Amino acid sequence: MSNPASLAVSGLALGGARKALNRQVLIRLLVVTVLMFGFGFALIPFYEKICQVTGLRSILQADHVGPINTQVDVTRSVGIEFDTNSRAIGWGFRALAGGLSVHPGEVQQAVFEVRNDSARAVTGQAIPSYGPALAAQYFKKIECFCFTQQTLQPGEVRQMPVVFVVDPELPKSIATITLSFTFFEVEGARVLPSTQPANRS
Amino acid sequence: MAHSTADAAVAGHAHDHHDHAHDDHAHAAPSGFMRWLTTTNHKDIGTMYLWFSLTMFFVGGVLALGIRAELFKPGLQLWHPEFFNQLTTMHGLIMVFGAIMPAFVGFANWLVPLQIGAPDMAFARMNNWSFWLLPPAATLLVVSFFVPGGATAAGWTLYAPLTTQMGPGMDLAIFALHILGASSIMGSINIVVTILNMRAPGMTLMKMPMFVWTWLITAYLLIAVMPVLAGAITMTLTDRHFGTAFFNAAGGGDPVMFQHVFWFFGHPEVYIMILPAFGIVSHVIPAFARKPLFGYSSMVYATSSIAILSFIVWAHHMFVVGMPAAGVLFFMYATVLIAVPTGVKVFNWLATMWRGSMTFETPMLFAVGFLFVFTMGGFTGLICAIAPIDLQIQDTYYVVAHFHYVLVAGSLFAMFSGAYFWLPKWTGHMYDETLGKWHFWLSIIFFNVTFFPMHFLGLAGMPRRIPDYNIQFADFNMLATIGAFGFGLSQLVFLYTVLKCIRGGEKATAQVWEGAEGLEWTLSSPPPYHSFEVPPQVK
């Protein structure tokens, strides 16, 4: 076995078996590649599940609110300001009240109005945001037009409520909360396919 | 049943042998461009990878000089801000995917078969294909500068929503990355199979050279994370054109989610770019210290630990997106933990040099330079890992300084070290030692002139990815720009030295370096076109 010629023979005799073995490892690694490609996509629902369980990203669903009638903190008031934006959707969007003063723990309602100024039916989705950001976890929305998509016919006007309660745990340092909504057009959900596509510049 | 399998194996072998003779004949026939286009020889393909990456290194370098020229003084001089953003983005993409990664694959192609005593890579034709995917991908990237709206300007991290709003240059970049990713995956599979199945008799896993070990682990990392990047950019593509809303807030998606998916790829990626560098340095330092590598098995375990830990630290790139404190703490501690195996490696290299009979030829200069400057980058990495500090320096020039210390002084200097170390083996000629030393000293001085001031700029609050800046940052920026042009021009010395070495010079012996060890040094310089057709016996 120790002389080079016989080694060469044994080495070459391995050739076919080695080829099969190489192919076997290749296939396994390709399977791993495909699985990891799928894993990238699986991260999306996984991430959403984590956010749901930990309550990290609950802006589009109703907040869980405990018993609310006993916890009103009348010793202080918090100013609520409204900010409305619409982005490349062609809607007029405003809050009917300029602002509110609420006691923490008290159920309140604010009404917003949208008007479709464009010549086609448009589906929009409102995304809420808070200032200061810390206030977000204390501002509990029980009912909100942002929980669903809104479809407006040309010229249609709609008034929509937000029912909310400010958590009494809100830090004392926060005296004013700005609630901001931005309406985006939901792409691919255009209700009248015959109309011109929107100019997206 | 067993008998018939054996028969088939023997028959397969006879067939192989015939094919092989035919291959030899075929190799002799095509000349010029066709020889390189059709080659399945690992040495040819390694050479092409190295030339490709050197070309892209100069392309990316020119883009970097465009960035530094604009930042030479405050105010807008040369470029529109949009074009400046394209420069930073394309510099990053080209250097990461076009220069560093293919260069390491080039090293692997040349060295892995030689170091494990294999006749070639396991899948020679796939090897050819994985190289020839690169030029079209690079062309797509470069051409994207000339489409309406220019190249992608979203940063090399390709964050949504920037990427969902860019022009067609973004689509070209996505296609280019898909192709580059496919090439990387094929190259990695080839390397894993070669290392696992084609080692010479007697070479057990724990006898493998460190470069082979680091590449085995790197290849596994690549196979695990490149498909995740492919998924992320595919989602970006469908968000852009097919009405999905993975990252589009309006449709219920979340831009922050892109960052999670991207960095799940991106953090292992930074180790993909450094582990083979560790491997190269683990060959150069023992050779010139004339001592065996200190703590071989601890090196193997440290490399594996770094690779495993790299999967659970990704969100340290995202401390400012608003994570719960528990998440921040987890990612912070996990990140700091990586300093332990990295420290093991650094101390092992130091211990290898300890009381060695050291000489400082160019490869050793670059290896020691790597050790010094990479460790600085490692330490600034630790500083960035501390969440409260990171909140201050996120997206400042401090981060730019940090990752250039680990990527330029880490990966690039290690590759220069490896190039000078193996050039005599590859070409059969000694390179010009004087020019090599000039290249080293110019590089390390200008590198520090360029990037050291960026630490101060970052601490003073200068944000990255901006074409203009407050006048208080002017002096350090001017210094950095002078350094950058010096560094860029110094690389022409490298190009000249390599060309000169290929064209002639003192004949290299098979051993080349007195202290070098490994199977590749048992072959002549340059090695025969087909080497180790009879596997060597490893004791």
Q: Specify the pLDDT at position B325.
A: 86
Residue range B495-507: mean pLDDT, rounded: 94
In angstroms, what is the C-alpha Rg of chain A? 29
| Angle made by CA atoms A165, A69, A146, in degrees to the nearest 5 | 25
- To the nearest whole Å, the CA of B227 is away from the closest chain A CA by 4
B260 CB neighbours in chain A (<8 A) are: 43, 47
* pLDDT tens, position by position, B453-462: 999 999 999 9
> Across the interface, do B534 and A4 touch by the CB < 8 Å criterion?
yes
Q: Which of B17-21, B236-240, B267-271, B392-396 has the lowest mean pLDDT?
A: B17-21
Give the right CATH number for B274-501 from 1.10.10.10, 3.40.366.10, 1.20.210.10, 3.40.50.300: 1.20.210.10
Q: Chain B interface, mutation test: which of A2, A34, A36, most B Cβ atoms within 10 Å? A: A36
* pLDDT tens, position by position, A80-109: 999 998 876 788 898 988 888 999 888 889
Q: Which residue has the tokens 């409204």?
A: A82
Helices (H), B29-78: 33-38, 42-70
The separation between CA A190 and the C-alpha centre of its own chain, rounded to angstroms, equals 20
Helix (H, G, I), strand (E, B) or coil at A109: strand
B92 burial type by CB count under 10 A (0-12 exposed, 13-18 middle, 19+ buried): buried
B197 CB neighbours in chain A (<8 A) are: 18, 21-22, 25
Q: Specify the pLDDT at position B244.
A: 84
> Across the interface, do B13 and A16 touch by the CB < 8 Å criterion?
yes
Q: In one letter, which amino acid is B322?
A: G
Q: Which residue has the tokens 């080349």?
A: B512
In the residue annotation, B199 being an active-site residue is answered as no
Closest CA to A181 of A93, A107, A120, A100: A93
Q: Where are the domains of chain A?
A: 1-57, 78-185
Closest CA to A11 of A22, A21, A1: A1
* ipTM of this complex: 0.83
Whether the CB-CB separation of B144 and B83 falls below 8 Å is answered with no
CA end-to-end span of chain A, whole Å?
76
> Across the interface, do A8 and B248 touch by the CB < 8 Å criterion?
no
Q: Chain A interface, mutation test: which of B534, B537, B538, most A Cβ atoms within 10 Å? A: B534
* pLDDT tens, position by position, B49-91: 999 999 999 999 999 999 999 999 999 999 999 999 999 999 9
Whether the CB-CB separation of B431 and B366 falls below 8 Å is answered with no
Q: Specify the pLDDT at position A186.
A: 76
Whether the CB-CB separation of B536 and B520 falls below 8 Å is answered with no
* pLDDT tens, position by position, A151-164: 889 989 999 999 99
- Average pLDDT across chain B, whole number: 91
Cα separation, A197 vs A201, in Å, equals 12
Cα separation, B111 vs B208, in Å, equals 12
Q: Specify the pLDDT at position B490.
A: 96
* pLDDT tens, position by position, B420-467: 999 999 999 999 999 999 999 999 999 999 999 999 999 999 999 999
Q: Write out the H or E segment, with its range, that includes residue A81.
A: strand A78-87
Q: Specify the pLDDT at position B243.
A: 80
B68, B240, B317, B439: the active-site residue? B317
> What class does CATH assign to B38-249?
mainly alpha
Residue range B320-328: mean pLDDT, rounded: 86
Which of residues B214 and A124 earns the better pLDDT score?
A: B214
Q: Sorting pLDDT into bands at 50, 70 and 90, what band is B499?
A: very high
In the residue annotation, B342 being an active-site residue is answered as yes
Cα separation, B254 vs B252, in Å, equals 7
> What class does CATH assign to A78-185?
mainly beta
Q: A–B: how many Cβ contacts below 8 A?
A: 126
pLDDT > 90? residue B93: yes
In the residue annotation, B156 being an active-site residue is answered as yes
In the residue annotation, B80 being an active-site residue is answered as no
Whether the CB-CB separation of B515 and B289 falls below 8 Å is answered with yes
B70, B269, B361, B432: the active-site residue? B269
Residue B352: which residues within 8 A CB-CB, separation 6 or more?
B285, B286, B289, B291, B292, B293, B294
* pLDDT tens, position by position, B231-290: 999 999 999 998 888 888 766 788 889 999 999 999 999 999 999 999 999 999 999 999
Closest CA to B218 of B296, B150, B303: B303
In the residue annotation, B271 being an active-site residue is answered as yes
Q: Where are the domains of chain B?
A: 38-249, 274-501
Q: Is the peptide bond before B74 cis (omega within 30 degrees of 0)?
A: no
Paired tokens of B385: 């890992």
Residue range A49-57: mean pLDDT, rounded: 73
